[in-house]
A and B are shown apart, each in its own frame.
Chain A
């Protein structure tokens, strides 16, 4: 079967996108750090920050009349959203995060949960 020029171009396009993505993943995974702080950002502003190593449950209240609520859980060095009263509940489905730069986003309530690494060293498990 002869492969047409268009099909060839399609394959090149797909390969280029996947290669760039793979390179991006590789760089992201090699440079990632274990986080130690959990930041809560509402509308882009940091409103709360917690240590990733102290277990706690935090209610994040948002909205003009404090009508929305998300529940953030920090447990065993990982953070996740255990509950949200938005319709889509996408943040609830997000896996727990623990590496610096990882985020959980709640679009309807404009909340970002972000892990940061302050004075942290690169992931020692990777070298040990």
Chain B
């Protein structure tokens, strides 16, 4: 992409879409009341889209700005630590999987979802010194995989439909 002003503007809009999806997701009732933390991961749709349409650097920027703004608006330093650990691990693994080019967006998305849960649980285990949270991780791995499949299918459709768009 040559026009960097346009690119900045488009990425800005995309970041705001990710923020709105995160907000929307927070408004919805919990998917499983007995297991808190289970969610669709709608913002990951945006991150995968950026990863495929723009690249790793841009995905890091969108993800980082999104985390920062969410923490500023709705959270605190603690919640930032959790979401950052999840997001960093998730993004690195998704970028690696995309690079080896053996999986579709579904595989990438599933890996991202499970890595996101894993990152957060690792921070919790570290902070609370409670290895028993591993049981919780197993549940999250299952729900994350299911959510990841749907987000991956969505991302696939999104990338195909916008293939003719010059952004």
A114 touching B130, Cβ below 8 Å:
yes
Cα distance A41–B133 when bound, in Å? 14
Chain B residues whose CB sits within 8 angstroms of the CB of A103 once the complex forms: 130, 132-133, 136
Across the interface, name the chain B residue whose C-beta is closest to A6: B104
Identify which of residues 127-148 in chain B touch chain A, using a CB-to-CB cut-off of 8 Å.
127-130, 132-136, 138-139, 141-142, 145
Other-chain residue from B79, B110, B130, B136 in contact with A13 (beta carbon distance below 8 A):
B110
Given contacts A5-B102, A9-B107, A93-B34, contact A107 B124 (CB under 8 A): yes
Other-chain residue from A20, A28, A44, A90 in contact with B127 (beta carbon distance below 8 A):
A44
- Where the two chains meet, the residues of B that have a C-beta atom closer than 8 Å to any C-beta of A are 30, 33-34, 36-37, 78-79, 82, 102-104, 106-107, 110-111, 114, 124, 127-130, 132-136, 138-139, 141-142, 145, 149, 152
7 interchain residue pairs of minimum CB distance: A90-B36, A44-B129, A10-B107, A6-B104, A24-B138, A101-B132, A95-B34
A105 touching B124, Cβ below 8 Å:
yes
Given contacts A18-B145, A25-B138, A90-B36, contact A41 B114 (CB under 8 A): no
B102 touching A41, Cβ below 8 Å:
no
- Where the two chains meet, the residues of A that have a C-beta atom closer than 8 Å to any C-beta of B are 4-7, 9-10, 13-14, 17-18, 20-21, 24-25, 28, 41, 44, 90-91, 93-95, 101-103, 105, 107-108, 110, 112, 114
Q: Is the interface of A mostly helix, strand, loop or mixed?
A: helix
Would you mind naming 12 contact pairs between A and B with Cβ atoms under 8 Å apart? A5-B102, A13-B103, A13-B107, A14-B145, A18-B142, A21-B139, A24-B138, A90-B37, A101-B132, A102-B132, A107-B79, A110-B128
